[in-house]
Amino acid sequence: MNRRTLLAGIVAMPLLARPARVFAERPAAPAADDVAVLRAAMSIHPGLYRYLTPHDVERAFAAFEHDYLAGMQRGSLDVCYLALSRLLTALRCGHSYPNFFNQTDPTVKALFDRPTRLPFDFEWLGSEMVVTADHSDTGALPRGTRITAVNGGSTARMLERLMPFTRADGHNDGKRRSLLGVRGAEDIEYFDVFQGLLMPPAGGVHHIAATRPDGRETQVEVPAIGLAARQATMTRVRETSDSARWSYAVRADGVAVLDMPGWAMWNSKWDWRSWLSDRLDDATHTRGLIIDLRRNEGGDDCGDPILARLIDRDLAGWPFTPKVRFREVPASLAPHVTTWDDRFRRLGVGGKDLGDGWFALREREALAPIRPDTRRLRVPVATLIGPANSSATFGFANAARKSGRIRLFGEPTGGNRRGINGGGFFFTKLPGSAIEFDLPLIGYFPDKPQPDAGIAPDVSIPTTAAAIAAGADPALEAAAVWALDTREN
């Protein structure tokens, strides 16, 4: 999907396909105040013009203002949320969106707690929806089943309709498809939110057309489920848990597998550093180590201790230069933002003026290199990557390749080699609707032109419906074979 297509969709696509959910209370401020706060926020967004021209931005803003003001006048929280989501998606910044997890309880209840969800987990393989776990209690949708239609509309068309609301960096649509998969890994799944807002089922039932793994076509009615039922199927350890969030096991062939589905550790009291250190100590006695990051979007830099055991000199694995678009947070924006570190409010103070409205970070804010650990890990190390990797795990894939000590297997990452935005955030609340959105503060830019794409693996092994049906993991097995061959040679 190119920029012109996306912007045309922003202007042309109607937001309402059904009656809208209304605000629980009257808006606290006029709609014009919300627009002013959003424009102040965008004035310091480091990625505003990375993919869009000023004309593109104004066109997207005009469409936003039209829909958002109409939503406020009608008291429709749905319309306001969709209008903001679509505008932020147009920036092609994977860290800019109305964060489900930062909304007020009434907003969460109104927008996300609806009995509209599909009762199964799935992945998007191209434009195909492929079942990975069936929770419908019908037995009709085994693993590897391809869903061809939902409620009379093709799943390919469903995906096309959802993509303009799905965040990713640049034109990395693999990340968008990944984010729209349902894996039982998030308290609130991205697909569920926008499918519920845009394409809810009638009468609490989904009408499904599908092709089973054996080739037989079937049609089945399945119940639409709510938020609590979806969360009951979750397979991951919650971020707030003090239990181990990762797993480590040594296979019968002597190759160790370290599965790290998430690196967001700021809400956890789990001592992940000690846990990881102990497993890396054990891995020195194995025939190889495979690190599985395929479901890991990012979080903290939990991969640095691994890299430190593999290198013999300092490693600057982040190939981007940080820049910001403000010295101090604008006065018109300051009352409407919160953050975990108030030093972000003066992020550009003391940094070099780079011209054209850009400022460098202060020297003490620059990223320090990864320094070697005296405890060396000398076994072959492979990492499984995929389109979910778009923040800290995108950075790890960059550093892994630069180190020369890790071989990458799987599929291209999310993120973008043209750079991403993040590093610090303002959680920005629109005063009228009370909708929050995440505003990244630091733009990371390559020193020379790069392709508009993620990082390609050294060994490409796409996921297939046949592998899902068989419960096979070709990428993991290929990495294990490589590790054993490398160790023996």
Q: Distance (Å, rounded) from C-alpha 353 to C-alpha 358?
A: 6
pLDDT digits (tens, 9 = 90+) for 190-212: 999 999 999 999 999 999 999 99
Tell me the whole-structure pTM to 2 decimals. Answer: 0.93
pLDDT of residue 237: 79
pLDDT digits (tens, 9 = 90+) for 12-66: 444 544 445 667 666 667 889 999 999 999 999 999 999 999 999 999 999 999 9
Q: Which residues face 211 on adjacent strands?
A: 146, 217
Alpha carbon distances (Å) from 156 to 23, 132, 134, 342, 431:
32, 18, 20, 44, 37
pLDDT of residue 21: 67
DSSP string, 286-342: SSEEEEE-TT---BS-TTHHHHHTT-SS-B----EEEEBS-SS--TTTGGGEE-S-G
DSSP string, 362-376: PGGGSPPPBPPPSS-
Name residue, tokens 């992945």.
Answer: 123
Q: Do domains 120-232 and 247-488 have the same CATH topology?
A: no
Query: Residue 115 half-sphere exposure, CB side, CA atoms within 13 Å?
Result: 9
Q: Which residues face 257 on adjacent strands?
A: 249, 290
pLDDT of residue 46: 98
Instruction: Look up the CATH number of domain 120-232.
Output: 2.30.42.10
Q: Any idea how long the chain is?
A: 489
Q: What angle do CA 77, 82, 86 make, to 5 degrees?
A: 155
How high does pLDDT run on average in the chain? 93
Q: Where are the domains of the chain?
A: 3-108, 120-232, 247-488
How is the beta sheet containing 421-429 ordered, strand by strand? 320-323, 436-446, 421-429, 337-338
Alpha carbon distances (Å) from 99 to 68, 85, 161, 222, 336:
17, 9, 20, 29, 15
pLDDT tens for the chain, 489 residues: list them: 343 333 444 444 445 444 456 676 666 678 899 999 999 999 999 999 999 999 999 999 999 999 999 999 999 999 999 999 999 999 999 999 999 999 999 999 999 999 999 999 999 999 999 999 999 999 999 999 999 999 999 999 999 999 999 999 999 999 999 999 999 989 999 999 999 999 999 999 999 999 999 999 999 999 999 999 999 998 877 777 788 999 999 999 999 999 999 999 988 889 999 999 999 999 999 999 999 999 999 999 999 999 999 999 999 988 899 999 999 999 999 999 999 999 999 999 999 999 999 999 987 666 789 999 999 999 999 999 999 999 999 999 999 999 999 999 999 999 999 999 999 999 999 999 999 999 999 999 999 999 999 999 999 999 999 999 999 999 999 999 999 999 766
Give the CATH fold of the 247-488 domain: 2-enoyl-CoA Hydratase; Chain A, domain 1 (3.90.226)
Q: Distance (Å, rounded) from C-alpha 120 to C-alpha 118?
A: 6
Q: Which residues face 410 on adjacent strands?
A: 385, 460
